[in-house]
Structure 1
Amino acid sequence: MADKNRKVPWAIGFVKKEKNNLPETKREKQNEIIDMNERSLGEEAENNQESWGEAVKLENFFVEDGKETEAQVKEELHTKEVNGTEKILEEAIKLHDLGVAGDKKAVVEAHKLLKEFLEQEPENVEAKGYLGSIISLLGRDSINPNERMNKALEGLKILDQVVKINPENTQVRILRANVCYRLPEMYFHRTDTAVEDFKHMISRYEKDQNIFTESYYLKLLYDLGGAYKNLNRHDEAKKTWQKLLEVTSDEKYIKLLKKEGITKSKKDKKGEKADIIQELPVTKEVDLIVKPLEEEPLSNGEIIKSDEPIAAQKDGDGFYEDEQKFSNLETKESFSEGIKLYMAAKTGDKEATGKAFDYFNKANKANPDNDLITAYYADCLSMTGRDSKISSNLFVNAIKAAKLLDKVANDNPKNMTIRLIRAYQSFRLPESFFRRTATAITDFEFIIQGYEENEQLLDRDTYWQILYDLGVCYKRLDMDDQAEETWDKLLAQTPYDKYHNLIQEQLGADLGDIDTKIASMHSKEDLLTEGIRLHDIGVAGHKAAVQKAHAILEKVHEMDPDDPIALGYYASSIALLGRDANDPNTMFGNAIQGLKMLKKAISKDNTNPQLRLLRGYLFASLPEAFFPLADKAAKDLKFVKNAFEQGKSKISEELYWRVIYDLGALYKRTGDYKRSQKAWKQLLEVASDPSYRELVDIDIEE
C-alpha cells in the first residue's frame, strides 16, 4: 500500500494476496511487499518489561535472495496506480511507521487519516488493524496514566475483533503480535497473545514459504523466543532459539543468542543442535510451569476443580484443562471448606479472611506445586493486607500476591478459576497506586469469552456480575463507550433491578448545558443549591460533575466564608477531586485537606444532619487501609438515621432507606455482623423499594 519511493523503517516480508489484485514483482507475481510493525532485534527481551511509551528502535529486513538490494525491493513495491482512497491508507501506513519509531505528530495524523479512510471503506480489514495499532500508540504518547491504559486497551480490542473475524490475515496478526509484545506484561498480560500470533505466522511460513521472506521468518523465531522468555517459559524459549540456530548461520542471530546463553557448537556447524552454554537469565517475574486444571461450575460464582481428569486440548483450541489434581489434601470436602471461608473473606468478613489465609497458607506449604492453591493463598494474603490497620501491609501483601497470581496465571493461561481470582484481586486494588485495572479487564474479558463459548463453565449470575464489574473497570479508566456497551449487553439479559440501579448510579445524570446554567446564576442561594446538586451527582462517580461542583462551591465559600454548609460541601468537593486523581500525591493531599476543612465546618454546627451525612459518606469512600474511618462513618450515618426517625432531619425517605442500607454495609465492613443484620432487617421493614430486598438478600446469603 506504500509508494515505491517511501523510506521503509520497518521489518519487511512478503505476504500473499488475492490473485485478482496481485502486483508484479521480480521475485514472484503473487507476492506484495507490506510493512510490518517490528521490535528491534537488538533490543533485549527483558526490555519488554519496561514502559512501552519509550521509542522502539527498528531494524530493516529485506529479501536476501540473489542480488536484490533495498533499493530494488522499493522499486518493486507497486506497479499499478492507486486511487485517492488507497492513497489515504498508504499515507496513513507511512505515518504509522514513523509513529512507531517515535514520531508523536505522525501518530496523531495517522489516526485522523485511518478514521477518514474507514468512513469510506468501513470493512477494510487492513485499515482496521492499523487503526487498532495506532490507537495503542496514542496511549503510548499520552502523559495521562488513565489515557495510556484506555488507549492501549481500546487498540487491543479492535485488533482482537479483527483477528477473530479474519484469523488467517497475516498482516493483522503481525500488527497485533507486535502491539502485544511491546506492552508491559505486568499490566496488560498480553505476551501470551503475541506468542499465539508468532506461532501462527511461523506455522504458515513452514507450510508455504511464499507467505513472506525467510529473513522475516527468522525474526519471528527470535521474537517468539523472547516472548517465551518474558513469560518465564524458559524451556520453550531455549527450544525456539535452538531451532533458529539450526536454520540460519546469520552472524547477527548467533551474536544475539550468545547474549542469551545459547551458542552454536562445533558439532552444530556440522548439523548438530545448538548447545546451551549457561542457564537463561531469570527475568524479574519468575514463574512456575505447570498445567491448568479441570473446571466445573459452582453456584456461588467460584469454579471448583474436579478430581477426575480430562484430556488436555492443544494450546489455542479454546478453554482446556489438564490432569493435575489436588495433591495431599485429605478430602475434597476440606478444600470446599477453604473455598467457603475464602468467599466469606471476599465480602469483607475479617474473621473469615484470617481463617481462609491460615487454611490456604498451610495447604500451599503442603502442596507447593499446586497452582490453584497458590492462587487462593495469594488472594487471601492480599485480603489480609486490605484488612490491616497498617497501611504498608496493603502494599506489601498486594504486591506479593499480584506477583504470585501473575506467575500461576502465566503458566495456566486457560484456567478460568485462576484468572477469576486474579481478576478480582486486581479489581479491588486502588488504581492510582497499583495500575491493575487493565489486568482485571484482560481477565474478565477472557472469562466472558469462555462462558459465551461454553455456558457450563460458569453459572449465569456470576457471568452477569462479571459483565457489570467489567463495565466498572472501563468506567474507572474513563472508557465510557466501552462501559456503556458492556452494560447494555448486561441489561439485555438480566431481569435484576439491582443492575439497572447500579448502572444508573455509575452513569450519573446528563449535565446538559451546565455552563450556561451556571453563568445565569448570581445569588449565593442559587449557586449553593446547584453546587450541592452537582456534588451529589459527583459522589456517585461522575467526574465532570465533581469538577463543576468544586468550582461553584469554591465561589460560594468565597462569598460567605462563615457558612458551615458551604464550607462543608466545598471541603467534600476537594476530597472528591482527590478521589478522581490519577496520582497518589493528589489523592492523599486533597483527602487530608478536605477532611480538615470538613472538621472545621462541623465544629461550627456539629448537630447538623446534613453535615454529618456529608462527612459520613466521605469517610466511607476513602480507602480503609490509608484512612481507617469506617467506624466514624458508621457513627455519622447512625446520627443521621436517628435524626430522621426523631423528625430532626429533612432528608427524603428514599435517602433514609439508603442510609440504613449503607449503615449495614459499614457494620459488615468492620466485622460487626450483628448490627449489620439488625440494620438490614429494619430496612426490609420500612423500605417499599423492592431492590433493597434483593440487595440485602444477596449479602445475607454470602
Structure 2
Amino acid sequence: MEINDTHMKEYEKGKRFLKKGTDGDKDAVHSAYEIFLKLRKAYPDHALIEAYYGSTLALLSRDADETLEKADKAQTALDALNHAISMDSNHKDIRKLRAKVCMRLPDSYFRASQTAIEDLSFLLDRYKDDPSYLTNKEVTEIKKDLRTAYKNVEELGDVDTEMQQQSNHASVKNFETLMEQDIPSHKDNMENNEKAGQEFNNGKNLKKFEEGKIYLKKAANGDKDAVNTAHEIFLKLRKAEPSNALYEAYYGMTMMLIARNKKIPLSRLKESIAGMKILDGAVRAAPHDSRIRLLRGRAASRLPEEYFHRAKTVIEDYTFLIEREMQKEGFLRTEEYLQVIYQLGEAYSRIGQNQAAVMCWKRLMNETQDPDFLRLLTLKMKSLEGKPAVEHNAIPESPVSILIRRSVHFAGSEIKRILEDKNFQ
C-alpha cells in the first residue's frame, strides 16, 4: 500500500524523531511514537510502518522507569516487529530494525539474540548475492552485531580477536573453584549472626531444610520438577517458622528459579521481582546475617541492570560482607572473599562507577598470585581505560565485558550461575 503525500511527510518526520530518540532524546521518542501510531491506524497492512512503530515502542521501553512497564513495552515492540516480518520477510529495513531492537534486550529474559542472528544472517546472505545490497559501513556494523549476538547465545563463532584469545586463558581451574564455595553452615555462622528467629526450632525442620537445598541444587541444574519440590519445601518451612529469615531467603531463591522457567518474558520478570522482594524482606528481618546478604547479593548480581537496577543492592550486600570480614568475622573463606570483591567491582562497573571498580580489582591483584586470575583482572581494568571515574549515564554491559565474564565460566542461565556452586548442596 502506497503512502500518500501528506502521510509521507509525517512518515519522514517520524523517522527523524526516531533517530533523535535513538540518540537519547526522550521527547523525540514520544513524538515518533505518536506519528507511527497514527500512521499504523491509517495503513494497518503496511509492514514498514509496523516495524517503525515497534521500534518506537522499544525506545519507550528503554526510557520507562518501572520494570514491568519496560518489559510490557519491550514485548509489545517485539510482537509488532515480528508481525512486520510476517507481512514482508524480505524487507531489508524491517530486518535491520528488528535486529537492532533484539540486540538491545537482555537475552536472559527475552531470548531475542537468536532472532537477531536470523535477521543479520539474512542481510549478509543477500549481500553475498548482491554486493550493492549493503554499504561497506553497514556490512561492518552487521558483522560486529552478529558476533555480539553469537556471544550472547554462547556460540562465539569465529571471533578472531586478541581479547578472546587472552580471555580464553583466564578460564582456569583455580578461578573456577573460586565460584564453587559453600555458604558456611548454620552452626559455623551462629555466633556471628543474629540469633533471634534464626535458630531451627526442631530437628525435623532442619532435615527438611537440608532436603530443600538438595532439590534447589537439582533445580539449578535444570530439573523443573525439583524447582516445584524445593518451592513446596521452603513454602512449608516459612509457614512453620515465619520469623526464620533464612528460610525466607531460600524461599526467595526458589521464586527466582520459577522465574527462570517461565516462557513469557513479562511473567519471568514478575516472578524475578517477587523473588527479590522476598530476599529484601529476609534482609530487613535479619540485616546482620551474612548468609542472607550473600544469597541476595549473588541473586542481584545476575539480574540485567537496565531492568532491575540492582547493582546498588549488590554493592550494599557485598560492602557489608567485606566490612564484616575486616572486623575479623571469619564468615568467608579466602576464595569467597576474593569472589565478593571481584563481583563488587563488576557491580560498580555496571553503573558507571569506574574508579571504584578499578579499586576493587587492583585490591585483588594484591591478594592473589594466580597468573590466570591476574590476567583476568588486567583485562577488566584495561576495559575501563580512558573512561571517566564516574559515568552518570552508564551504558549496558558491553560485548567485551560479556566475553570476559563468560571467560570464567559464568555460563548457563542467570539463576543457574548463582546456584551452581556448593552453597546449595
What is the TM-score when the length of structure 1 is the normalising length?
Answer: 0.34
- Residue 399 of structure 1, CA deviation: 5.1
Number of the residue aligned with 1:357: 24
Number of the residue aligned with 1:412: 92
Number of the residue aligned with 1:640: 321
For 1:425, which of 83, 95, 104 is the aligned residue? 104
CA contact (8 A) 1:660 1:683 kept: yes
> Residues 624 and 582 of structure 1: is their aligned pair in 2 closer, same or farther, counting only changes over 3 Å?
same
CA contact (8 A) 2:218 2:226 kept: yes
> Residues 413 and 592 of structure 1: is their aligned pair in 2 closer, same or farther, counting only changes over 3 Å?
closer
> Residues 567 and 429 of structure 1: is their aligned pair in 2 closer, same or farther, counting only changes over 3 Å?
closer
Structure 2 portions without partners, runs of 5+: 33-50, 181-202, 386-397, 399-425
* CA distance in 2 between partners of 1:671 and 1:380 (Å): 26
SS at match of 2:119: helix
* CA distance in 1 between partners of 2:159 and 2:225 (Å): 25
| Within-5 A mapping of 1:310-329 | none
Which AA in structure 2 matches 1:678?
A: M
Number of the residue aligned with 1:443: 119
Number of the residue aligned with 1:580: 261
- Residue 584 of structure 1, CA deviation: 6.2
CA displacement, residues 578-627 of structure 1 (integer Å, 9 cap, x when unaligned) = 34323467546644554454344334432111101222233444565665
* CA distance in 2 between partners of 1:585 and 1:452 (Å): 38
* CA distance in 2 between partners of 1:570 and 1:643 (Å): 25
CA contact (8 A) 1:568 1:597 kept: yes
Number of the residue aligned with 1:149: none
* CA distance in 2 between partners of 1:381 and 1:691 (Å): 42
For 1:614, which of 295, 304, 309 is the aligned residue? 295
For 1:659, which of 340, 345, 351 is the aligned residue? 340
CA contact (8 A) 1:619 1:632 kept: yes
CA contact (8 A) 1:427 1:440 kept: no
Number of the residue aligned with 1:470: 153
| Within-5 A mapping of 1:5-44 | none
Number of the residue aligned with 1:696: 380
- Residue 382 of structure 1, CA deviation: 4.3
| Within-5 A mapping of 1:248-397 | 356-358=23-25, 382=58, 385-386=61-62, 388-391=64-67, 392=69, 395-396=72-73
CA contact (8 A) 1:448 1:466 kept: no
* CA distance in 2 between partners of 1:649 and 1:448 (Å): 56
For 1:550, which of 219, 226, 231 is the aligned residue? 231
SS at match of 2:294: helix
* CA distance in 1 between partners of 2:383 and 2:222 (Å): 23
Task: Give the number of equivalent residue pairs.
Answer: 313
Number of the residue aligned with 2:42: none
- Residue 686 of structure 1, CA deviation: 3.0
SS at match of 2:24: helix
CA contact (8 A) 1:491 1:500 kept: no
* CA distance in 2 between partners of 1:586 and 1:418 (Å): 25
* CA distance in 2 between partners of 1:354 and 1:540 (Å): 41
> Residues 439 and 427 of structure 1: is their aligned pair in 2 closer, same or farther, counting only changes over 3 Å?
farther
| Within-5 A mapping of 1:214-233 | none
> Residues 635 and 603 of structure 1: is their aligned pair in 2 closer, same or farther, counting only changes over 3 Å?
closer
CA contact (8 A) 1:550 1:573 kept: yes
- Residue 635 of structure 1, CA deviation: 0.9
Percent identity over the alignment is 21
Higher-helix-fraction structure: 2
Q: Which has the higher contact order (CA 8 A, sep 6+)?
A: 2
| Mean Cα deviation higher: 443-452 or 657-666 | 443-452
2:400 pairs with 1:686: no
> Residues 634 and 535 of structure 1: is their aligned pair in 2 closer, same or farther, counting only changes over 3 Å?
farther
Which AA in structure 2 matches 1:612?
A: R
* CA distance in 2 between partners of 1:383 and 1:653 (Å): 44
* CA distance in 2 between partners of 1:400 and 1:532 (Å): 39
CA contact (8 A) 1:546 1:577 kept: yes
- Residue 569 of structure 1, CA deviation: 0.8
Which AA in structure 2 matches 1:421?
A: K
* CA distance in 1 between partners of 2:72 and 2:215 (Å): 34
> Residues 637 and 564 of structure 1: is their aligned pair in 2 closer, same or farther, counting only changes over 3 Å?
same
* CA distance in 1 between partners of 2:160 and 2:311 (Å): 36
Greater Rg, structure 1 or structure 2?
Answer: 1
* CA distance in 2 between partners of 1:449 and 1:556 (Å): 56
